[in-house]
Structures are given as structure tokens and as C-alpha cells.
Homo-oligomer: A and B are copies of this chain.
Amino acid sequence: MDTRRPTNPAAEEILGLYFPVLDHGFVALVDYMGSDEDIERAARVSYGYGTRRTSETRGLIRYLRRHRHTTPSEMVELKFHCAMPIFVARQWIRHRTASLNEYSGRYSLLPLLFYRPATDQFQAQSATNRQGRGGVSLASLHADAVERWERLRRDAAEQYEWLVSHDVARELARIDLPLSTYTQWYWKIDLHNLLHFLSVRADAHAQWEIRAYARVMAGMLKRVAPLSFEAWVDYELAGTHLSRGELAALRCLVEVRGRDLAARPGAHVAAAELAGLGLSNREADELLAKLAAAPPADDFDLDLGAARSAEEFAREMEAAVPRVDRK
């Protein structure tokens, strides 16, 4: 349809395409408002888009992000339709500055689809990151686990069907469905808060399953507001934060010479000296990790070939809803 609103061809191209995530989930961008130009327009409180060049817009957007002037980036809005396991939904919903409508298990019968972790993600508790998985594969255990998951889910599905077939209130019938059951929602958020979500959820400390969603959404954002996306990668995702002590350590090693930087000849900061600057062992390790070679960057580009239609997912969900005759 024809509109006088700001319109973005790269975003239009993916609008309404459903990108699969995990085994039964998806993310689709279903609407958006504004683009990089609208962030500039709001920051300058200008009467339209004028004749600014892209390089000027880029410069302003990078300046705003670098200096934490985040309010203009609230002027762009994205709306998603997503399906994810409930345990992922429970992490996702902690981000409060978003609008959300979830499929209601009190009102409707639930599709009985469950997330099954693949072998390569079936890992041991991490020894270093005390809340995640640690990279040690438990592949030999996976087949056993799959068998147990299958059995429990079959039983949970059978129980749900039994209860609703006896007309037990749906809000009660659902209470023994596992956290691996898929749910779905509409989720609307502005660009500033989406970037915060992505910073936290695309991070290596986030649970792998929610990171899979964050990666796809980052790819969508890249099409809605490419300059803001680039600034986020450069200043946040691939940047880092230094504490007072870390900065002090670097000042021992690097000096400013006019407008150049130089290594201080022979400068050296031993582990023990880091402690003297107030860094705990853990913080010292974190500093070493920051200065190690940068990991290869993810470009977050979407694989358009993987996208499916809304109808396809709608059919899969519909087919997973139990057919019940009330007894």
C-alpha cells in the first residue's frame, strides 16, 4: 500500500517473513516505525528530513551512541511475532520496557510442541561461568536424555488432553506442561531498548537458546536502522568497559605522545600488581580476556532462504493443538 510515512526497503523485504529459531520456534518482523533518519530528525527536532547526507546522519548517530544520548533512538519502533519455549520466554520477559501480548492458555487450547536440545548443545555445567553450560559435550548421554524427554512430554501431553477432554478448566489443565513447551507472543519495543536486550541476550553469558533469538533480531534491526546497528556493534558489542583499576594498568603501559599513542618502553604489569590496583583475580582474568585477540565478528546477516511463511507456521501450531471431545 501507499504511505507517506518513512519507509525502508531493506526492512520491507523481510516484513512478515517467519525465520525459524530452534526446532519449532520463529521470529518475524511484522511492523516497524522509522529508521536512522528519524533518529536524527528527533535529535535535531527538525521539520522534516531536509538534505542531510548519509555521512552526516552516520556521524550524528555515532556521536549520540558514544555519548549515551539514547532518547532519540527511542523514536524507532519494531514489532515482532515470536514463538519460543517457555523457559526462554521467562528470561525474555524480564525486559520490562516492551509491549507484549502472549497466547493465552486460559482461553485457548495450547499447541503441544516441545523444545529438544540438539547433541552439540547438550553440555555440562560451566566451571567458570557459574550459571551456564561449559562447552564440555555430553554427547554420549544425549540419546538417553532424548528418550527421557520424549517419554515425559508424551505423558504430559496425554495428561493435558485427558484433563481438557473432561472439561477441566484450561488454566488448571496446563499446569503440568513442561517449561520446554512452546508459547508465542507479539512483542513491540523501541530501538534503544532493543539494543539493550541484544547487548544482554546476544552476549556469551546468556543462555544459548535465547541467544539464537537475539541473533535473528539483530539481523532484523540491521535492516531497519543500519547506522544504529553499526554504531552498536562498534561501541558496545565489540567494545568493552574498563574499570578504574584496569584503566590505571593501561596507563602504566601506554603513553600519549602528542596525538599519537606509544607503548611505554619496558613497561610491564605483573599479576600481583593488578591486585595492587584493586583487581580481584577474577577481574584480572577479565582484563586479560579483553586484551586478547578479538573474536571473529558475527555479521548477523539474515538467511532469507531459511524464511518461511506465516501460514506454514500457523498450520504447524494448529496441527499440534489436541483434538478433544468433551466427555
SS of A interface (majority): mixed
What are 10 pairs between A and B in contact, CB < 8 Å?
Answer: A34-B79, A43-B101, A71-B94, A117-B172, A125-B167, A131-B170, A134-B169, A171-B207, A261-B268, A261-B291
Cβ contact of A131, chosen from B42, B79, B106, cutoff 8 A: B106
Give A46's nearest chain B residue, CB to CB: B314
Inside 8 A of A6's CB, which chain B residues have their CB? 31
- A176 beta carbon closer than 8 Å to chain B: yes
Smallest CB–CB gap between A275 and chain B, Å? Answer: 11
Please tell me which one of the listed residues B172, B260, B270, B288 contacts residue A270 in the complex, with CB atoms under 8 A apart: B260
Distance of A251 from chain B, by nearest CB (Å): 6
Extra contacts besides A71-B99, A77-B77 (11): CB < 8 Å: A1-B4, A2-B3, A3-B7, A71-B94, A75-B79, A75-B188, A87-B174, A117-B175, A149-B176, A156-B178, A250-B254
Interface centre among A48, A166, A254 (most CB of B within 10 A): A254
Q: Closest approach, in angstroms, between the C-beta of A317 and any C-beta of chain B?
A: 8
Total residues of chain A contacting the partner, CB 8 A: 152
A47/B310 in contact, CB under 8 A: yes
Determine whether the beta carbon of B256 is less than 8 Å from that of A288: yes
> Smallest CB-CB separation from A116: which chain B residue?
B175
Least CB distance, A141 to chain B, in whole angstroms: 6
| Other-chain contact of A176, B122, B179, B269, B314 (Cβ < 8 Å) | B179
Q: Which B residues are CB-close (under 8 A) to A174?
A: 87, 179
- Collect the chain B residues with CB atoms within 8 Å of residue A101's CB: 42-43, 45, 71-72, 75
**Cross-interface CB contact of A251 among B149, B249, B291, cutoff 8 Å:** B291
Q: From residue A104, how far is it (CB to closest CB) to chain B in Å? A: 6
User: B38 and A31: CB pair below 8 A?
Assistant: yes
Residue of B nearest to A71 (CB): B101
Which chain B residues border A320 with CB–CB below 8 Å? none
Q: How far is the CA of A239 from the CA of B265 in the complex (A)?
A: 25
Is B268 a contact partner of A263 (Cβ separation < 8 A)?
yes
Would you call A47 and B207 a contact (CB within 8 A)? no
Contact partners of A151 in chain B: CB under 8 A: 155
Residue-wise, chain A 84-106 has the 8 Å CB interface mask toward B (1 for contact) of 01110010011011011111101
A233 neighbours in B (Cβ, 8 Å): 244
A276 within 8 A of B: no
Among the stretches A212-220, A278-286, A298-306, the one at the interface with B is: A278-286
Which 5 residue pairs of A and B lie closest in terms of their CB atoms, listed nearest first? Answer: A133-B169, A263-B263, A74-B99, A238-B244, A263-B267
Question: Across the interface, do A263 and B254 meet the contact criterion of CB distance under 8 Å?
Answer: yes
Q: How far is the CB of A243 from chain B (nearest CB, A)?
A: 4
Residues facing B in A140-188 (CB within 8 A) are 141, 145, 148-149, 151-153, 155-156, 159, 162-163, 166-172, 174-180, 184-186, 188
